[in-house]
Amino acid sequence: MSKKIVLTDVGRALPSRIDLFICAASFESRTLSIVSALDPQIVNKVLVFIDPELSGDLGADAVKSISVRFGDKVETVNFNLSNPLDVADRIVRAISSATKAGGEVVIDITTFTQEALLIMLRVLQISAHSVTGITGVYTGAAEYAVGLDAEDKWLTKGVLEIRSVLGFAGESKPTQKQHLIVLAGYEVERAEKTIDAYEPALLSIGLGDPNESISGKLFDVNKWFHGKLTERYREVKQFLFSCEDSIHTKEAILRHVQAYPGYNVQIAPMNTKISTVGVALAAMEDTAIQVCYAVPAEYNRDGYTSPGDTAYVFKIEIPKEK
């Protein structure tokens, strides 16, 4: 279960000794929210993942800030997010090396892309035998697409490709039709292009639960975008999922999948990173589930998010491989 706490108190909710802290350097200002709240003395090693081309100067500056704070404990891992095989290879090598001694792992999921986060979790599943525990931490956003009205908000524009996430290929039976499940966020274009590409026989569009959203303000905007999608596509199945508790998200997904048996299931996570963890856990439990990712062509670098003053801390109970 997730604990929502004041960001400045996040250190008190984490293990008293962190053997490995994992984070991603991004153009987002939220990159440094958790880092700034951590006591460097309790951290043994830091892995910072970065795509230099995507993150640009802001990401490079974030790496410098992290290095200043944690000194020689920091290892920077460059990867190319346009090449998932490179992402997987770099993550596997870094994680395998860093977890040999076991111990407590804390991963700041805030600014990983959803695809990189999913691959990371799959790698941690493979390496889970060598760690004591895995804790996730996430900085909530005060606002997305900062300063724009609801109808003008955008996080990304365009889609380069839609691909299956490495490690989450699931199972596809040729005798069964496709059930596409979209966890809707603020990106209508990405959702539409994903739906149009798969042309599913059954379409489900999930809405973040108003009682488990990051804030009432963010829920209202999410509901507006969700409404745009459900108006366009006919006979859409709808359900609620948690934006702030990965276990609740996992349970909601599995209930919904079980309510419509006999389909090949594809899930497109497009909401919070916490709900993306829930997607990973659901697909690990039901290995027939496939997970897909729509690669954005352009990011709203100037106003992607503004950081909130709260954080979520939660245990990531990764199941053993089946």
The model's pTM: 0.94
Domain limits, the chain: 3-144+305-315, 150-299
Angle CA 139–31–248, to nearest 5: 30
For the domain made up of 3-144+305-315, the CATH class stated in words is: alpha beta
| pLDDT tens for each residue of 66-82 | 999 999 999 999 999 99
Same fold, 3-144+305-315 and 150-299: yes
Contact 203, 122 (CB under 8 A): no
| pLDDT tens for each residue of 36-54 | 999 999 999 999 999 999 9
pLDDT above 90: residue 138:
yes
For the domain made up of 150-299, the CATH class stated in words is: alpha beta
**What does the alpha-carbon distance between residue 222 and residue 54 come to, in Å, rounded to a whole number?**
26
pLDDT above 70: residue 153:
yes
Of the ranges 204-208, 210-214, 235-239, which one carries the lowest mean pLDDT score? Answer: 210-214
Considering the chain, what percentage of its residues have pLDDT values greater than 70? 98
Residue among 27, 68, 21, 9 at smallest CA distance from 296? 27
pLDDT grade for 322, boundaries at 50, 70 and 90 = low
pLDDT above 90: residue 90:
yes
User: Going by C-beta distance under 8 Å and a sequence separation of 6 or more, which residues neighbour residue 97?
Assistant: none
pLDDT above 90: residue 151:
no
pLDDT above 70: residue 129:
no
> What local confidence, expressed as pLDDT, does residue 59 receive?
94
User: Going by C-beta distance under 8 Å and a sequence separation of 6 or more, which residues neighbour residue 138?
Assistant: 108, 109, 110, 272, 273, 274, 311, 312
> What local confidence, expressed as pLDDT, does residue 142 receive?
83
* Average pLDDT over all residues of the chain: 91
